[in-house]
Amino acid sequence: MRKFEKVIVMVLDSMGIGAAPDAELFDDVGADTLGHVSQYFPNGLQVPVMTKLGLGNIRTDNPLKGVPAQKKLISIVGKMKEISAGKDSINGHWELMGVPISRPLDTFPNGFPAKLIDQIEHFSNRKVILNRASSGTEAMSDFGEKQKADGSLIIYTSGDSVLQVAAHEDSVPVEELYRICRFIRTIIDQSELTVGRIIARPFIGKDKGTFERSKNRKDFSMDSPEETVLDLLAANGIPVTGIGKVNDIFSSRGIEREIHTGNDLEGIDQTIHAMKVVTQGFIFVNLVDFDSKFGHRRDAKGYGEELVRVDCKLGEMLKLITEDDLLIITADHGNDPTFKGTDHTREFVPVIAYSKGIIGRNIGVRNTYSDVGATILDNFEIDNEGYGESFLSQIDSQPD
């Protein structure tokens, strides 16, 4: 069985590949992020690198437009079901790392409790405005000028278990916003509420027409009650590099080197750099723009164009992959930009595993995202007492 010195997992945030078997429970029947994005363009998706890696081989019964199946696979390909109770980023990422969440986290479609809002106002000495479910761009557009003028806090949520705090960087300095979010995280953790993430959402710009989110977003996540794959790697002396928002999602636990990024292309550049300097270990990458900039905003055109940009950069990565490296490309949930609403969608996610010189094959439908984590542990010869079944034994070398 082949083993690798470096394993790189790249999460293309929200890149679902068709409604999951339990989509009805989430009112997501018919969701299909990649399928619908590919159909949006007259000639389909033009992603030659992911096509070469076998993206089109994952579901030949309902082909992705513009992404033909390869006659000879050079990667391990398949798709994975989610078994966690929810469909947000924490559910997806934690399950990938071996800790599915069995109980739904709290959501707040009618806003947050008055007691919590009072505590936030008292601690921050600032007024809370909005306090309801909203898209981030609408919240910023509709309330940004008021917030900038009076220094209040725009608090809103979505269909996920999140409390988001938006403020203009000129009226609430970034470090103060972080301090407020840390306080919220602390008091929620001491309460009966279970909220997946507190998200600081600083923005910049002169007025409603020019407001935009800054690069200083920061997530304050709940702690995993169990050891994740990252914890197990760290305990066994395997260095972990986190790139993008994975550091926040796991509260930096088990992550030796943290690299925060401003956009997806920067995330890939940082991954390329890490691949050059890390000789042994695990590199865990999240490319969030698919989700935050295009999926939630229901922008199918932007989603597809971002796939094209990322695909081009992936070509640079592949040139660096050696026989000692394993690259796994996957996702954490769906977010169909053509679907109703603005929330995540319950979908299968693709899994593509590539290394130089392997025998390609389709490994079918996996029963949990945790198969990725199990494969990582298997590679580094660490016992897996949790969820997931490794597919490492199915990664074989081409004969010389």
> Tens digits of per-residue pLDDT, 105-137?
999 999 999 999 999 999 999 999 999 999 898
Q: How far is CA 4 from the centre of its chain?
A: 24
341 class by beta-carbon count within 10 Å (0-12 exposed, 13-18 middle, 19+ buried)? middle
Q: What is the DSSP letter of 392?
A: G
* pLDDT higher than 90, residue 72: yes
Query: Tell me, what's the pLDDT at 399?
Result: 59
Pairing of strands 240-243, 218-221: unpaired
* pLDDT higher than 80, residue 397: no
Higher-pLDDT residue of 166, 262: 166
Query: Tell me, what's the pLDDT at 159?
Result: 86
pLDDT in tens, 361-384: 999 999 999 999 999 999 999 999
- Residue 51: pLDDT band with limits 50, 70, 90: very high
Percent of the chain with pLDDT over 70: 99
pLDDT in tens, 266-304: 999 999 999 999 999 999 999 999 999 999 999 999 999
Mean residue pLDDT of the chain comes to: 96
CA-to-CA separations, 186 to 121, 197, 262, 389, in angstroms, rounded:
15, 12, 26, 35
Query: Tell me, what's the pLDDT at 396?
Result: 86
Domains of the chain: 6-99+224-394 (3.40.720.10), 114-221 (3.30.70.1250)
Report if pTM > 0.75.
yes
Please report which residue ranges of 278-318 form alpha helices under DSSP H: 289, 300-318
